[in-house]
Chains A and B, each alone.
Chain A
Amino acid sequence: MSIFWISLGQGLAVAAILALSSVAFTLEYAVSRVVNLAHGEVLTIGAFAAYVCETNLHQNIYVCALVATICGALAATGLNYFLIERFRNQKSLATLIATLGASLILQNLLLIIFGGASLSYGFSQGNLLHVGPFLWTTLTIEVMVSAVVVAILIYLLLQRTRLGKALRAVSQNRELSQVSGIPARGIVMQTWAVAGAVSGFAGFLYGETVGTISPTIGNGFLLLSITAAVGGGLGRPYATLGGAVVLGLVMSIAGTYISSAYQLVVAFGFLVVMLLVKPNGIFIRGSAQTVRA
């Protein structure tokens, strides 16, 4: 992860990827009230799917991106169907631990299949371009543009479609939604599919930006997504987006003073401070005596 955090310019691309990952995470929480500790693995699966697509199937970059997105959606839907929904009649801590178990299983499956070493994407980085003060490759620009496009799509989904409305209803009160005729389970599945698609795509973007992937990249993404979501406002997509921006800023600023290896520590410290000071998130009003998801 150390090459990952090199410059502010690349930092912006990374922040964009992080924003997508965090929003996906928060959508999963919004609709199922579950903190998905296997979230990082969905991203990793997308990243590896694109890798296989490129290295073994020799497809072009657009096909690989699509494959990553689809695999992410499948992974998340599978996780929801086989695990989350089966634990619906259990307390949230049990589901949490179960997702932890799933994370162990998925991460180590990837380790077995692909080995522990870092694997490289073969996509060309394109030309270097000066855009204002930043030095970006065309690839990096594409990454950021596609991140923005996906964010806009998510916005449209939430605000303009029936799925979006139903999602908000189910997220507030699942039983009530069902009684009102909303097929809650289907909505939940679709939302996870969307979250998974976004995550898978984010995984692909990560691979593109950094150039190498390994089975353990999910850990960092999980921590950062939780930090952004909790810091901004868990379960609220726009608040989470805000949280991701703030986190990205905090880490970039910290990155100019301390070595990149410590940046996860900075993120984590930010999370703990947020939990102790503003546990509901920067952008959410209200207080709680004890903080639980």
Chain B
Amino acid sequence: MLQYWTAILTEAAIFAVLALGIDMIWGWAGDFDLSAYAYFALGVYMTMVMTIGKPQAPVVYILGWHLPYPVAVILAVVVVVAFAAIIGAIALRSLREVYFSITTLGAVWAIYYAVENYTPLFNGYNGVYGLVDPLGGGLSYNAYHYLFLGFCLLVLLAAYVVVQHLSTSPFGRMVRAVRDDERAASVYGRNVFWAKYRTYLFGAGLAGLAGGLFAAYIGAFSPLDWKPTEIFVLYAAILVGGRGNPKGVVLGSFIVYVGFVEMTRYIPSPAARPELGPALRQILIGLLIVLMLKYRPSGLLPEKLGDDGTIRRRSWPERLLRSSGTASNEPELLQGSSKDEVAP
């Protein structure tokens, strides 16, 4: 039982890191990116091929080094950011909203397709496997998992602190201004592309970092493990927790991830119809997304307003319950009708 919860919480923590990255791109900059899962997968693959050593035939993959785990993760993040630099440069130049999303979707398909079919990269359909073991050998099975959970939570905490700091900094404020009105931001001297691009790269880096963690957790990774549609779970988590609010994003990740895993325990998936469980899960994700968008688009913890330093902060139960009904102070992020959208 404890093992089960250790596993779930470890995964949830890793996905929370990924969600923090995606929220930067969507919540802060307003770009609905669909390629983040490719960055995550690349992070996993690169970390693995840099730590598990040379491939044994018939398995084949690139590199095959034996680097220490932290070094491998850092290098993996660099590789991921390099990819994001290319994709972002194409997609963010002049494309917005659905066109941006479609372009990133194409990028993730292209990467998925290349990885699945071009075997010399990461052993194609069969994938890569091998113990990465960042904590050095010699630990009992259980001790390793508890310690690794602790390690992931530490990394999550560090990522959270950094992201939260950035969110409330002048940079974070400026990115939201660019999101809210690009033309006005240009008029006040902001380079719109550069703002979105930097955010995109940082978010991709977090995705790569999450991938590095996942590599050590899972020990085997193939295209079966990372269908690009998994990203919708993360968007559901961000919507539930609070788009644009790092605390909310972490909260939402745990709620959705743990909630779904718990729920799928009770959903039957007969052997004759193995696609039933995952399909039901996707339906629930879709429902969650639609319902959150319709009824509580700002999530449990809405994006924080920068204030003048004189406000008394309401305690979190008060804010959660939204009791004082200051609905006018809720972010419009997704509300406000399309006719309010000023032509760019």
Interface residues of A (CB under 8 A from B): 33, 35, 37, 83, 86-98, 100-105, 107-109, 111-112, 115-116, 175, 223, 226, 230, 265, 268-269, 271-272, 275-276, 279, 288-293
B282:A108 contact, CB within 8 angstroms: yes
Contacts of A175 in B (CB 8 A): 339
B337:A90 contact, CB within 8 angstroms: yes
**Bound CA–CA A93/B338 (angstroms):** 9
Contacts of B344 in A (CB 8 A): 288-290, 292
Chain B residues numbered 233-287 whose CB sits less than 8 Å from any CB in chain A: 235, 273, 275-276, 279-280, 282-283, 285-287
Question: Which of B94, B279, B293 contacts A291 (CB under 8 A)?
Answer: B94
A83:B30 contact, CB within 8 angstroms: no
Contacts of B276 in A (CB 8 A): 112
Question: Which of B98, B113, B182, B334 contacts A265 (CB under 8 A)?
Answer: B113
Nearest residue (CB) in A for B239 is A97
Cβ of B297 within 8 Å of any chain A Cβ, yes or no, is yes
Say yes or no: A96-B286 contact (C-beta < 8 A), given A33-B338, A112-B279. no
Contacts of B110 in A (CB 8 A): 265, 268
Interface residues of B (CB under 8 A from A): 30, 32, 90, 93-99, 101-103, 106, 109-110, 113, 182, 229, 232, 235, 273, 275-276, 279-280, 282-283, 285-290, 293-294, 297, 333-341, 344
**Bound CA–CA A92/B102 (angstroms):** 15
Nearest residue (CB) in B for A223 is B102
Contacts of A100 in B (CB 8 A): 232, 286, 289
B96:A108 contact, CB within 8 angstroms: no
Contacts of A96 in B (CB 8 A): 32, 97-98, 101
Sample of 16 A–B contacts (CB below 8 Å) = A89-B335, A91-B334, A91-B340, A93-B32, A98-B290, A101-B285, A108-B286, A112-B276, A112-B279, A223-B102, A230-B99, A288-B94, A290-B96, A290-B182, A292-B98, A292-B344
A115:B338 contact, CB within 8 angstroms: no
B336:A83 contact, CB within 8 angstroms: no
Contacts of A107 in B (CB 8 A): 282
Nearest residue (CB) in B for A288 is B344
Contacts of A90 in B (CB 8 A): 293, 297, 334-338
**Bound CA–CA A275/B106 (angstroms):** 13
**Bound CA–CA A14/B99 (angstroms):** 25
